[in-house]
């Protein structure tokens, strides 16, 4: 059960990016999803390898904190906003 809950904490980065894209698209930049997911994976790896990182009772709380911080840092550092896909005109 513990391993399953740890695995579910991987969804934190995806959930955060999805919610930010849907409800606060101004926070998202082109590289937000990549860096948030990368930090989420590295955070979970650090949780498993370094017991000093375990300051919270469960890794999902740790994931929410580091992924939110990463999303906000990418917002400040990356100046390229997300671009919606181009609409294709039907050629008839």
With 90 as the cut, is the pLDDT of residue 30 above it?
Answer: no
The answer to the question of residue 20 being in a domain is yes
pLDDT tens digits, 1-20: 777 777 788 889 999 999 99
Count of C-beta atoms within a 10 Å radius of residue 29: 19
The sign of the torsion formed by the CA atoms of 62, 64, 65, 71 equals positive
Residue 47 belongs to domain spanning: 10-77
The answer to the question of residue 17 being in a domain is yes
- pLDDT of the residue at 87: 59
**The two structure tokens encoding residue 11:** 């969804």
The answer to the question of residue 52 being in a domain is yes
Count of domains observed in the chain: 1
pLDDT tens digits, 34-92: 999 999 999 999 988 988 888 888 888 999 999 999 999 999 998 888 776 665 665 55
The answer to the question of residue 83 being in a domain is no
The answer to the question of residue 33 being in a domain is yes
The answer to the question of residue 40 being in a domain is yes
The answer to the question of residue 85 being in a domain is no
The answer to the question of residue 82 being in a domain is no
């Amino acid at each position: 059960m513990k391993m399953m809950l740890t695995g579910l904490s991987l969804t934190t980065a995806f959930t955060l990016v999805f919610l930010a894209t849907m409800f606060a698209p101004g926070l998202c930049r082109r590289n937000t999803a990549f860096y948030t997911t990368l930090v989420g994976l590295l955070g979970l790896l650090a949780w498993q390898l370094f017991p000093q990182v375990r300051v919270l009772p469960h890794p999902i709380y740790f994931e929410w904190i580091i992924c939110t911080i990463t999303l906000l840092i990418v917002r400040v550092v990356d100046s390229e906003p997300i671009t919606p896909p181009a609409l294709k005109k039907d050629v008839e």
